[in-house]
């Protein structure tokens, strides 16, 4: 049928903004709320709300599998006016629109920032006759029957339908309130012949009524079956009570008798036993076919399986424990000493609670594997639980058992798996816990890791206290800053520094090489490494605080040798320094310190990072220009302020330092820190920047093998900084000979191994003049202001 058009009775323009909806069809005269979040839609609504307030609403077609077809829309839609607009807290817009009249989309005239289309308004074709009257009455009666079967249709809608006199309005109103397919709604919308529209709607409603009648019949059959099942259950309960009154024995199911025996054998604490017996009493009176029966069975399984009173016996041989720790790990004396102290006190005081330790250090230094060695030395079971990326509090505390699929948290789950209430429990990556709408796992850990509270830890699932005070909790972290302060306060923090090259050589000889030989199917007699070869791999193929990449490179060499053996070459291989490039390819890292010379304007600094200390270089140059002071190298605000403070100090002392201030004013000074892709920040580069600038302005070169760290003030004082231990180890690893540190940081040297301290010339300073006297070639104190 050809659709007729005419000038609209409403003031609908020839072009309107277009809103496309998924699976929603709006009819004329119908009021409906809509919510928008897309940027283009928000722009459209904001513009239209202050203009004509009229939009064209069209539906997007759906594919056979129920997904939207992005670019295909139905050509017939509805012109609607915006009645109200609400701005929501989440920046979305909620509007209330009222359909005005059917429209046909002719062509799109605009796509950016939102769609605008040329439209024609469609006119209804209506001729009153007996058929339309009959269809009108039939539709109302059918709708009343549908409403009786569908409780979701309120009585107010039925009353409204009965009072509608216009057939066109009736068809649109019912089509918008019936739960029918989008395709059927769209068929009603595009039909402008009222008689045909009523006829189509009558057919759709007839089909829906038949489906609902069939569904109602099926539901009645199910209800009858359920009623019979309930009747049998009540009769069984009455029979049980009659038998009890007569004193006759009751035949309990076998599984009920089994759970009674398990509860008696499990040695549950009083609270737990009372809760288990209460649940068992409920189970006795429960219909095995009910959903709650399975919930109770699962709960009792957990209660009788937990190690309430089961623990392993600690190894009290301190010398043996010391041997195990030394055998598995090189160095790490602080941690080993702390474990031996715990064993000694445990030997004297049997009731001591398990310590809460936190191993903090860069990746690859052995934090996680150390937990296994501690468990082995104590003779305890070992549990490792990764916290990285955890966001759900229920992972720690569990879910209430009334939830579908509920189970205890992972703390209780792991204790059940190891069947011991005093294992070594490692919580790995505690600094990488997240939080969202599901809760904050770090807050849930407060109770777990608090010795004063964890003796009565309450899991949401078991709902009775469980004693965690015998568990030795060990957490690991790369950095302490992300850990919430209350959680950090509950842990005894032990810092693990990175390894120096000499330590890595010994670790490779004692642990890494034997492990890689075994993992690659070789025998110790098949391959050997010279010390110089190991040193070359460490210095030129890895750059890390730990030894993870070192083991990976050594494994690469072993794999290549294993391949030769598999191909039939059985000759033993000796890996020397000269063969490393053959196995591992070109050198990956070159020591910048070794390859540098004494230069003007280039100073070596020390920095702290979450994965250990690092050596960085600060370069400065001067050239004619008017840009002034230029800073580059991805520097943070604090580091930029340190550079400005250093420059201000030198300019304020220009006369005393024999610097021509006109030289500074007429030239640009550019400071750059290489590795520009890496963010850098902090105040500890202050004296390094000042030394670089002083060298530049005096043309006096700086010793290339000296590194420094310290904050500078506008008065030229050198202030203390953090991370001294990591910085000194990084300097040693990079081949630095001398280090300048603030005098107030001397106390931090006590935490550094003696062999490292003795191999370096460490210069504590109080003023920047002292730094320059040490750092410049020939010890020329060109600028002394003393």
Catalogue the active-site residues: 684, 727
> 235 exposed, middle or buried (CB, 10 Å; 0-12, 13-18, 19+)?
exposed
Task: Give the DSSP H or E segment for 519.
Answer: helix 513-519
Handedness of CA 77, 79, 84, 85 (dihedral sign): positive
CB-based contacts of 200, cutoff 8 Å, min separation 6: 187, 188, 191
3-state helix, strand, coil in the chain (%, to 5): 45, 20, 35
Please tell me the distance from the alpha carbon of residue 482 to that of residue 477, in angstroms, as a whole number. Answer: 9
How would you classify the pairing of strands 612-624 and 602-609? antiparallel
Contact 469, 449 (CB under 8 A): no
CB atoms near residue 407 (< 10 Å): 17
* Contact call for residues 78 and 101 (beta carbons, < 8 A): yes
354 φψ region: left (φ > 0), alpha (ψ -120 to 50), beta (else): beta
DSSP 500: P
Give dist(CA 724, CA 745) in Å, integer.
7
Both structure tokens of 467 = 């004693």
The angle at the Cα of 374, spanning 372 to 376, to the nearest 5 degrees, equals 70
> What phi and psi, each to the nearest 5 degrees, are found at residue 589?
-135, 130
HEC readout, 376-398: HHHCCCEEEEECCCCCCCHHHHC
- DSSP sequence for 24-46: ----TT-EEEEEE-SHHHHHHHH
The answer for residues whose C-beta is within 8 angstroms of residue 505's C-beta and 6 or more apart is 531, 534, 535, 538
Structure tokens, 659? 């610097």
DSSP 8-state code for residue 636: -
In the three-class reduction of DSSP (H, G, I as helix; E, B as strand; rest coil), residue 358 is classed as strand
User: Are 496 and 332 within 8 A, CB to CB?
Assistant: yes
User: At 22, which helix (H) or strand (E)?
Assistant: strand 15-22
**Of 296, 289, 285, 287, which Cα lies nearest the Cα of 241?**
285
DSSP letters for 116-184: EEEEEEBPPB----HHHHHHHHHHHHHHHHHHHH-TTS-HHHHHHHHH---HHHHHHHHHHHS---HHH
Tally helices (H) and strands (E) across the chain: 27, 25
Q: Where are the alpha helices (DSSP H) in 247-401?
A: 254-265, 270-284, 291-305, 318-328, 333-348, 367-378, 394-397
């Amino acid at each position: 049928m050809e659709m007729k058009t005419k000038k609209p009775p409403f003031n609908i323009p020839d072009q309107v903004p277009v809103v496309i909806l998924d699976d929603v069809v709006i009819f004329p005269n119908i009021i409906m709320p809509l919510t928008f979040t897309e940027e283009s839609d928000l722009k459209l609504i904001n513009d239209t709300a202050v203009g004509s307030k009229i939009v064209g609403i069209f539906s997007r077609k759906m594919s056979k599998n129920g997904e939207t077809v992005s670019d295909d829309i139905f050509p017939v839609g509805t012109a609607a006016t915006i009645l109200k607009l609400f701005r929501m807290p989440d920046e979305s817009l909620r509007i209330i629109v009222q359909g005005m009249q059917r429209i046909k989309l002719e062509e799109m005239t605009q796509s950016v920032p939102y769609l605008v289309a040329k439209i024609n308004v469609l006119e209804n074709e209506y001729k009153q006759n007996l058929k339309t009257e009959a269809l009108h009455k039939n539709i109302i009666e059918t709708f009343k029957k549908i409403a009786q079967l569908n409780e979701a249709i309120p009585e107010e809608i039925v009353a409204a339908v009965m009072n509608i006199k216009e057939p066109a309005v009736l068809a649109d109103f019912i089509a918008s309130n019936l739960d029918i397919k989008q395709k059927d709604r769209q068929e009603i919308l595009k039909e402008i012949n009222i008689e045909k529209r009523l006829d189509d709607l009558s057919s759709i409603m007839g089909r829906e009524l038949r489906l609902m009648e069939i569904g109602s019949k099926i539901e009645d059959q199910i209800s009858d079956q359920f009623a019979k099942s309930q009747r049998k259950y009540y009769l069984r309960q009455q029979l049980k009570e009659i038998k009890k009154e007569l004193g006759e024995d009751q035949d309990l199911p076998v599984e009920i008798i089994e759970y009674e025996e398990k509860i008696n054998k499990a040695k549950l604490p009083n609270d737990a036993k009372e809760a288990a017996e209460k649940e068992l009493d409920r189970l006795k009176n429960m219909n095995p076919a009910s959903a709650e029966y399975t919930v109770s069975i699962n709960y009792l399984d957990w209660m009788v399986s937990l190690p309430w009173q089961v623990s392993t016996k600690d190894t009290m041989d301190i010398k043996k424990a010391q041997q195990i720790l030394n055998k598995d790990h090189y160095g790490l004396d602080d941690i080993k000493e702390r474990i031996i102290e715990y064993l000694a006190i445990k030997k004297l005081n049997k009731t001591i609670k398990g310590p809460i330790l936190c191993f903090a250090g860069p990746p690859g230094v052995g934090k996680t594997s150390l937990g296994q060695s501690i468990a082995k030395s104590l003779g305890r079971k070992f549990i490792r639980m990764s916290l990285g990326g955890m966001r759900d509090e229920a992972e720690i505390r569990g879910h209430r058992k009334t939830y579908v699929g509920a189970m205890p948290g992972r703390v209780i789950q792991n204790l059940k798996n190891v069947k011991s209430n005093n294992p070594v429990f490692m919580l790995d990556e505690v600094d990488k816990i997240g939080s969202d709408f599901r809760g904050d796992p770090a807050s849930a850990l407060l109770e777990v890791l608090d010795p004063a509270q964890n003796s009565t830890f309450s899991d949401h699932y078991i709902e009775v206290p469980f004693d965690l005070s015998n568990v030795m909790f060990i957490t690991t972290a790369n950095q302490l800053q992300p850990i919430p302060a209350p959680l950090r306060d509950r842990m005894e923090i032990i810092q693990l520094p990175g390894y120096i090259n000499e330590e890595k050589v010994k670790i490779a000889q004692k642990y890494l090489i034997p492990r890689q030989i075994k993992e690659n199917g070789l025998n110790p007699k098949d391959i050997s490494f010279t010390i110089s070869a190991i040193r070359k791999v460490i210095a030129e193929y890895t750059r890390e605080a730990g030894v993870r990449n070192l083991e990976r490179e050594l494994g690469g060499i072993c794999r290549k040798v294993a391949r030769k053996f598999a191909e039939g070459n059985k000759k033993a291989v000796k890996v020397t320094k000269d063969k490393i490039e053959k196995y591992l390819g070109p050198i990956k890292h070159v020591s910048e310190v070794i390859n540098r010379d004494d230069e003007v304007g280039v100073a070596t600094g020390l920095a702290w990072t979450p994965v250990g200390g690092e050596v960085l270089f600060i370069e400065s140059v001067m050239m004619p220009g008017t840009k002034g002071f230029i800073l580059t190298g991805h520097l943070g605000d604090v580091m930029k302020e340190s550079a400005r403070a250093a420059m201000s100090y030198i300019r304020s002392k220009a006369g005393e330092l024999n610097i021509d201030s006109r030289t500074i004013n007429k030239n640009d000074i550019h400071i750059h820190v290489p590795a520009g892709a890496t963010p850098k920040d902090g105040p500890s580069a202050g004296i390094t920047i000042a030394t670089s600038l002083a060298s530049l302005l005096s043309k006096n070169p700086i010793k290339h093998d000296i590194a420094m760290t310290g904050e500078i003030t506008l008065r030229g004082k050198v202030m203390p900084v953090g991370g001294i231990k990591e910085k000194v180890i990084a300097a040693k690893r990079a081949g630095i000979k001398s280090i300048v540190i603030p005098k107030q940081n001397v106390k931090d040297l006590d935490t550094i191994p003696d062999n490292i301290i003795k191999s370096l010339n460490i210069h504590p300073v109080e003023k920047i003049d002292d730094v320059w006297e040490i750092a410049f070639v020939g010890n020329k104190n060109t600028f002394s202001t003393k």
